[in-house]
Amino acid sequence: MISPLVVAEIQRLLVGKKHSHRVIGEMLGVSRNTVGAVALGRHRNIGVDPNGDAEGEPIGPPKRCPTCGGMVYMPCRLCRLRNENEANPRPPQREHDERNAAASAELNLRPDHQVRYQKVRVRRQRMLAAGYV
Ligand SMILES: [Zn+2]
């Protein structure tokens, strides 16, 4: 079981949307799966730890949110994030650039591996387009 404070810190970093789950996990010494579980509100510490003393730690049981209708721990995080996203819309996504696909996946490939990566990627996309997989 990880500390409720770590859960709270994961939640704080997730709201910032500046880091991937993997990076947040590395920063806090937990797995990216743990970060993902916290992102989905499915971590076992959430809402069930009576000793949880982290601020904002939701306490169960879930209730029906009057705004979005979801079964959530109040206050509804989804509605809060939606409001924050409306107030601070994200900048438009860059056009997807195949040549930068490896870079955006944070792969640091040697040139010969880069060539191999692109070949595999193109083959994969052809297979997907042809209905395989
Ligand atoms: Zn809601």
In the chain, the largest separation of any two C-alpha atoms, in whole Å, equals: 56
Domain interval for residue 124: 98-130
What protein residues have CB closer than 5 angstroms to ion ligand 1?
A: 65, 67-68, 76, 78-79
Q: For residue range 48-104, list pLDDT tens digits in order.
A: 444 444 445 566 678 899 999 988 888 888 899 899 888 888 777 766 666 666 665
Q: Look up the pTM and report it.
A: 0.34
Same domain, yes or no: 63 and 80: yes
Q: Dump pLDDT digits (tens) for 29-62.
A: 889 988 998 888 877 655 444 444 444 556 667 8
Please check whether residue 15 lies inside any domain of the structure.
yes
63 backbone dihedrals φ, ψ, rounded to 5°: -125, 160
Please give the distance, rounded to the nearest whole angstrom, from the Cα atom of residue 54 to the centre of ligand 1: 22
51 domain residue, yes or no = no
Are 39 and 21 in contact by the 8 Å Cβ rule? The answer is yes
User: Is cis: bond before 92, omega within 30 of 0?
Assistant: no
